[in-house]
Amino acid sequence: MSHECRALILERIRQHGPLTFAQFMDLALYAPGVGYYASAMRRSGRTGDFYTSVDVAPLFGELLAEQFAEMARILTPDSRLRTSDDKDHPIDFVEAGAGNGRLSRDVLDALERLDPDVYARARLHLVERSTAAREAQRETLGHHAAKLMGSTADLPSSIDGIVFANELLDALPTHAVVGREGGLREIFVDAVGDDLVERELPPSTPALDEYFAAIDVRLAPGWHAEVNLRAVEWVRDAARALRHGFLVLVDYGHEADLLYSASHAHGTLATFTAHVVENRQEERAAPWLRDPGGSDMTAHVDFTSIRRAAQAEGLDPICLVDQMHFLMGLGLQTRLEQKTGTGREDVMWRLALKTLLVPGGLGTSHHVLVFGRNVGRPALRGCGRGRARS
């Protein structure tokens, strides 16, 4: 399919001129039928191009379920004040970037065992752009498919419960920019014959300069960076839809003062193909131009701008914590200590647990951001070592 995606991109350029990197990335990842995510129901795992925490074991979903059960209790009236009708009061569980539904299945499997009351009231919504992935969701969910209220490309308009997303924001189409002596320049994708090339042009929108002004950052000449206006817009949309409850985002990134510093002067854009990562190298052509539609593309998330967007829509920041400490607060270490056997199952569990914990891996590269609306700032188990920044 990647050759068809490349042909589509070339056609768009010939018809409309150079594409912003965000437009190029949107086509490469999400163009119906030919984009990387749009042409398959699953891309991660041992036989895919990259790993996520969901691929390690159902344990990730089980630990999230522990946190969601605690959140659900905060959202539920005091048991002494509940009426007989309260058992029917639904709690929305909205997973964005849900793929074929594996994470939600793991969460519901655990809730069914750990907290039957919350499970009974769970009302599942899956948000996914890929038609192929949406078509696989009911089979993946199994008997939990009875909980599925909707599977759409967009968030529900009104949510009373929990919105969660695992590695969604890093895959949203991002603008690419570079600092120059005269100010900010934007990187576009153009065509020379049948070859795709990068081209520096004036910014396509004043929102790019406004973005950096809002976080008090100026790129030094020669520094590359990504500005994910779509991620900020998505957080604003999710916040507006959330009437009462929590927003939980798991992703990799940094605060703006680190993300837009000398330590990331080449930017953070990267491609993933068969677990091989490639990023910007001055002496080589940009790897993302080589096989659009055939490889994953991501960029690190600017946590500062995400938090600002959530707060601008009235959400309260509850914590930002690395995934290792978030999962340890939910009992990951205890589970590791319990699996002491020498059988294959126990050994595989220990390997999975360590993958979620190991420094430098998923445990510390990924962070969890939690926001709330009309819930105050509760001391959540997973946030025990996190912090809320205003």
pTM: 0.89
Confidence of residue 358 (pLDDT cuts 50, 70, 90): low
Per-residue pLDDT, 343: 60
Residues paired with 370 in a beta bridge: 248, 319
Q: 3-50, pLDDT tens digit by residue?
A: 899 999 999 999 999 999 999 999 999 999 899 888 765 444 344 444
Q: 365-381, pLDDT tens digit by residue?
A: 789 999 999 999 999 99
Query: How many angstroms separate the CA atoms of 341 and 335, rounded?
Result: 12
Considering only the C-alpha atoms of the chain, give the largest distance between any 2 of them, rounded to a whole number of Å: 72
